[in-house]
Amino acid sequence: MAIIRVFKFGGASIKDAAAIENVVSILEKHKQQKLMVIVSAIGKTTNQMEEVVKHISNKTLALEKLEIVKQNHLQIVTDLGLSEHEGLMSDLNDLLVEVDWALDEYQPEYDYIYDQIVSIGELMSSKIVNAKLAQSGFSTKWLDARGVIITDDIYREAWVDWKRTSENMHSKVKPAFENVDILVSQGFIGSTTENNTSTLGREGSDYSAAIFSHGLDVQDMTIWKDVPGVLTADPRKFKNVTKLDSLSYKEAIEMTYYGAKVIHPKTIKPLQNKSIPLYVKSFIDPMGDGTFISDEVIEGYPPIITLESDQALISISTRDFSFVAEHHLSYLFQEIAKHRIQINMMQNSAISFSVCVNDIDNRIEAFTQQIQQDFKTIVEKNLELISIRHYQNDVVEAMKKGKITMLEASLGKMIQLVVKEIPKVERI
Ligand code: ADP
Ligand code: ASP
Ligand code: MG
């Protein structure tokens, strides 16, 4: 069996016909290799599909939103000269009809219906990319990720059943490579054991690529981005950023956990577990070196800054003045886990406990409601978490400017600040 490599292309890299042609030209440089190609939905399709789901109670409006997605995809198909490509238009139409049916399906569970509808974005993009590759003379085949990645039924944030998924990689994906060089599949989506479509969480396509890499024991994985590689901070928020040529898995997992949006945080573990190196490269400058992530230990990192918005600080204290000691903490952690709340920082005193968490949906409200009998809670929202790894004091001071620091902690090489903007005082 030849060596397999995994390439993942995100929404920005396939946003229109020219972008898809650029992807084809990147793949031209890797002809004759066995490539597992994972694609996200085209451009901002996932956001547009979320609009369809939001209007589920008004089918006319939902179909209007779907029409925007349909027209965008049809335009790209035309621009790529694929209108007559065998089976493509009927495949795309079938997928759009599935959305129509899903809108009719009575289903009280919003998250379930969300996954059935939003997943169509990746199914359509992968059909189009596969057709373009076939038209360009590649030996390629479309593969349904839902026949491979098996998950639980926690819709919108499904967890992978690694055993079943690995079996499928061996029984379905590896043999498929015997007849073709490229398999094109979808990021973000999987299937429950009941054959319902599930999704792995927003921005989850990097993670899908890592699941395929793990299951196929590939040589390496490359994610193609709109940046030269992993930078010392998000270039959309900071001016003086530099590229990190190489990173250890440990450094990468810490950065992504605390908000470096360039790689989905769940991506690193499956790769680390099999020592599969990860390249982060630019689809704009494909010959650039990018960033190389591996188990190599690297010394002398510059300060690396990550920002995570939508943070909330929950201050919890006992109503009867008893200590927040082990048995209380154990109960509180249990409830936090049950409500799928991610803790980013915590601190405790004799009778109080403060946690900084991601503010998602109404999870905090459900949690505080649950514990209210024994605990008083104060919740402060709209905060930002700043994490600086390999920090220097001048960088920390600069980050604090114009902000109120609510919580600060340092551990080893990292300092973290939970901050809020200083409110603007009205001049009289
Ligand atoms: P995809 O196309 O795969 O969805 P994303 O848009 O999710 O890619 O990720 C790329 C974006 O990540 C960049 O455009 C950049 O703004 C952002 N980003 C955040 N932190 C970093 C960082 N430390 N280095 C590089 N890019 C970063
Ligand atoms: N299309 C999905 C999203 O936008 C997954 C991804 O792009 O990684 O969230
Ligand atoms: Mg993305």
- 384-394 pLDDT, tens digit each: 999 999 999 99
H-helix or E-strand spanning residue 191: strand 189-192
pLDDT at 133: 98
From 7, 262, 387, mutation site for ligand 1 pocket: most ligand atoms within 8 A of C-beta? 262
Tell me which residue has its CA closest to atom 5 in ligand 1.
262
pLDDT at 245: 97
pLDDT at 145: 98
CB under 6 Å to ligand 2: residues? 10-11, 40-41, 46, 121, 187-188, 202-205
What is the Å distance from ligand 1's center to 236 Cα? 9
What is the Å distance from ligand 2's center to 385 Cα? 23
From 45, 261, 263, 280, mutation site for ligand 1 pocket: most ligand atoms within 8 A of C-beta? 261
* Main-chain phi, psi angles of 84, to 5 degrees: -100, 5
pLDDT at 32: 83
Tell me which residue has its CA closest to atom 4 in ligand 1.
10
Pairing mode of beta strands 352-358, 304-318: antiparallel
The two structure tokens encoding residue 363: 């999870």
The two structure tokens encoding residue 244: 């990190």
Of the candidates 313, 276, 303, 307, the one whose C-alpha atom is nearest the C-alpha of residue 292 is 276
Ligand 1, closest atom to CA 233?
Answer: 23
pLDDT at 1: 60
CB under 6 Å to ligand 1: residues? 10-13, 40, 203, 225-227, 230-231, 233-236, 260-262
User: pTM of the entire structure?
Assistant: 0.94
Ligand 1, closest atom to CA 231?
Answer: 24
pLDDT at 323: 85
pLDDT in 10s for each residue of the chain, 428 residues: 669 999 999 999 999 999 999 999 999 999 889 999 999 999 999 999 999 999 998 999 999 999 999 999 999 999 999 999 999 999 999 999 999 999 887 666 889 999 999 999 999 999 999 999 999 999 999 999 999 999 999 999 999 999 999 999 999 999 999 999 999 999 999 999 999 999 999 999 999 999 999 999 999 999 999 999 999 999 999 999 999 999 999 999 999 999 999 999 999 999 999 999 999 999 999 999 999 999 998 889 999 999 999 999 999 999 988 888 888 999 999 999 999 999 999 998 888 899 999 999 899 999 999 999 999 999 999 999 999 999 999 999 999 999 999 999 998 899 999 999 887 766 55
Neighbours of ion ligand 3 (CB under 5 A): 10, 203
pLDDT at 350: 86
DSSP per residue, 271-302: HHHTT--EEEEESSSTTS--EEEES-----PP
Tell me which residue has its CA closest to atom 5 in ligand 2.
203
Ligand 2, closest atom to CA 204?
Answer: 8
What is the Å distance from ligand 2's center to 201 Cα? 8
CA 360 to mean position of chain CA atoms: 15
Q: List 225's β-bridge partners, or say none.
A: 282
Classify residue 95 by burial, with Cβ atoms within 10 Å: 0-12, 13-18, 19+.
middle
Ligand 1, closest atom to CA 237?
Answer: 16
What is the Å distance from ligand 1's center to 256 Cα? 11
Q: What contacts 233, CB < 8 A, 6 or more positions away?
A: 241, 304, 305, 306, 307
- 219-258 pLDDT, tens digit each: 999 999 999 999 999 999 999 999 999 999 999 999 999 9
Longest dimension (CA), the chain: 76
CATH hierarchy code of domain 4-219: 3.40.1160.10
What is the Å distance from ligand 1's center to 132 Cα? 26
Pairwise CA distance, residues 10 & 4, whole Å: 20
Residue type, 412: G
What is the Å distance from ligand 2's center to 354 Cα? 32
For residue 210, CA distances in Å to 11, 37, 217 come to: 17, 12, 10
The CATH architecture to which 304-421 belongs is 2-Layer Sandwich (3.30)
pLDDT at 186: 98
pLDDT at 428: 55
pLDDT at 426: 60
The two structure tokens encoding residue 123: 């199914």
Q: So where are the chain's domains?
A: 4-219, 304-421
What is the Å distance from ligand 3's center to 13 Cα? 10
What is the Å distance from ligand 2's center to 210 Cα? 14
Q: What is the DSSP secondary structure assignment for residue 172, as one 8-state letter?
A: I
